[in-house]
Amino acid sequence: MEIQKELDKLRRELEYHNKMYHVYDSPVISDYEYDMLMQRLKVIEAEHPELITPESPTQRIGGPALSKFEQVRHQVPLESLTDVFSLDELYAFGERMDSMIPAPHRYSVEPKIDGLSMSLEYENGVFVRGATRGDGLVGENVTENLRTVRSLPLHIENAPERLIVRGEVYMSKAVFRELNEQRELNGETLLANPRNAAAGSMRQLDPKVAASRKLDIICFNMQYSSDGAYTGHAQTLDAMKAMGFPVVPYREYENIKDCVERIEWLGEHRDELPYDMDGAVIKIDSLAQREALGSTAKAPRWAVAFKYPPEKKESKVLDVVVQVGRTGVLTPKVIVEPVRLAGTTVSAATLHNQDNIDRLDLRIGDTVLLQKAGEIIPEVLSVNKAKRPDWAVPFVMPTVCPECGSPVLRDEDGAALRCTSPECPAQRLRNIAHFASREAMDIEGLGISVCESLINAGLVRSAADLYYLDPQAVAGLERMGEKSAANLTAAIENSKQAGLARLVCAFGIRQVGQKAAKVLASHFEDLDALMAASVDELTAIDDIGSITAAFITEWFSLPQSQHLIQRLRAAGVDFSSHEEKKDDRFAGQTFVLTGTLSQYTRDEASAIIESFGGKVSGSVSKKTSFVLAGENAGSKLTKAESLGIRILTEEEFADMIR
């Protein structure tokens, strides 16, 4: 069949280019050419879904969400390593090996990547199952999430009938920084380090989330091969690399003394590696010698992990500056005399907030002890008060935003200060991107990158400027063009009719998201009525508490907010409510949605429930009235059944809303 031949050819090409890019770091075609091949494959598979296979390159985007991970018993235990923290302990390991192995023996030295250990199973060259280490004997089946890792081969040539490989899933430093920048933009909590980010991503029940995290894998051990043709560890690594696995870089040495030079080199150059590492692994190479040495109850006798001590150095505080993040949070940063730390020159470190400054009792002129948290982010550990100059005075955070001069407010948890201005230059990108987002004004084509281009070109300074854009000026932006510019300006024009709920959500008022905005729009006929509402009037509305009400009235009272609204009004943005309340048949009732609905999207079902006066919650409790369950409903359904809550099918729900 011609279609099958083209499919096979496309899949082979894409896997080859995937391997050249991710394993050998030697791409032979451009990203655009790769994307075009992938696009053609997607088109064919969409027309012939019966021909889609689990190992197809298109399946790396993630399949349907799981309700839980099943348990997997490892055929070969995934043992941990004994840690050594000094050269004396390392030499002692070498002496033990010399006494226990009378024959000559070689060592392999490899970087110890800080990620999540995995067992990868292949049958006749096809990836069939992947599992976490767990307790070494039993792990969790994360096969669908592993399929999204682009550096993992889903099919290998010239493979034994059965093969088990051990690898480490990790998040590269570059992806980690990119992900944290995006989380900061969205006002989310920053991830602590790449290892936690990788582990959290791999344990997501929705593979699409794992796919979005751009994880990688590096393989460091052949656990089992049905052909049994290998005698040494280095030989297995070379064979795995030839099969298309990304393999840990290794060096072989005759004795422990020679290993030390490599260990020290890795420690000095670890900042240059794309992944985070917390040590070096030293292993006996001979597989027969390994088998003779065996293992203790916890770890193999033939290997150890040399752990690098966290590097700490003192430096003098030159200044404390306050930066305004994209979410409006004021973050103090200490400027220090440059010092070399864990492979890079450090001249600044975050102080997080005023509470942390007070805890440290840090002052300009102090001498501080620095360390890199997770080997990446510089932080202040302590202050050497014995070296404090007489003139040093405590540092106090400002009461107004250093970027725009607007008042700042302390978060309700008392930890962070936040700028209150919707037009603060430091928050510009985040505010405009949120204004245009799907849950807000839903301006198609106006994503982060386009917002950034508009701001950098000086075309947009606030969300209101979107409605005054010149199409010709937009067309002049890089990678835009006249057609794209026309589509974008048309989408912006259409958003004028989005209605009050979307507009209020777009303002980005603290604690007023999509749900609260809909509640407000159902109680007020237009924006002017909402602006005139007092705190008492707002708190009289269900789901609007006193803190949220205070945030709303305070936001509308700001001169910057009034200026934004004035310009939106002049541009013709509709301020009226579009929320249609049909009747109150669901008044006082709370619904929870779970599983995959066939007749509605989650948003559609939620909108219907709210239009009849009901509420939609994300969790099941004793206050839940109904659970609307679709296909593959998980733990929420189980909990509802245990609480005796009525479970609705889609047909029953349809009867209720007729």
Secondary structure, 3-state, 619-649: CCCCCCCEEEECECCCHHHHHHHHHCCEEEC
Q: Name the strands in the sheet holding 646-648, side by side, starting at the edge strand that comes first in the sequence.
A: 615-617, 590-594, 626-629, 646-648
User: Is 112 annotated in the active site?
Assistant: yes
CA distance 288 to 291: 5
Cα distances (angstroms) measured from residue 433 to each of 451, 476, 556: 6, 20, 20
Separate counts of helices (H) and strands (E) for the chain: 24, 22
Residue 559 burial class via C-beta count within 10 angstroms: exposed 0-12, middle 13-18, buried 19 and up: exposed
Question: Which residues are registered as beta bridge partners of 517?
Answer: none
Residue 362 backbone phi and psi in degrees, to 5: -85, 140
d(CA 237, CA 258): 21
Which CA distances in Å does 275 have to 314, 374, 376?
26, 12, 11
Task: Give 54's DSSP letter.
Answer: T
Question: Which residues contact residue 10 at a Cβ distance below 8 angstroms, ignoring those fewer than 6 apart?
Answer: 37, 40, 41, 44
| Position 184, amino acid | E
Q: Are 252 and 259 in contact (CB under 8 A)?
A: no
- Give the integer Cα–Cα distance in Å for 246 and 151: 7
Catalytic residue among 5, 19, 112, 385: 112
Neighbouring C-beta atoms of residue 604, cutoff 10 Å:
11
The neighbour count for residue 575, using CB atoms within 10 Å, is 18
CA dihedral 128, 134, 140, 142 (to 10 degrees): -60
- Is the CB of residue 334 less than 8 Å from the CB of residue 349? yes
Give me the residues paired with residue 550 across strands. Answer: none
Radius of gyration of the chain (CA): 29
CB 141 within 8 A of CB 207: no
Say how far apart CA 546 and CA 535 lie, in whole Å.
7
Asked if 162 and 123 touch (Cβ cutoff 8 Å), the reply is yes
CB 392 within 8 A of CB 364: yes
CA–CA distance, 164 with 225 (Å, rounded to integer): 7
Judged by DSSP in three states, 517 sits in: helix
Positions annotated as catalytic residues are 112
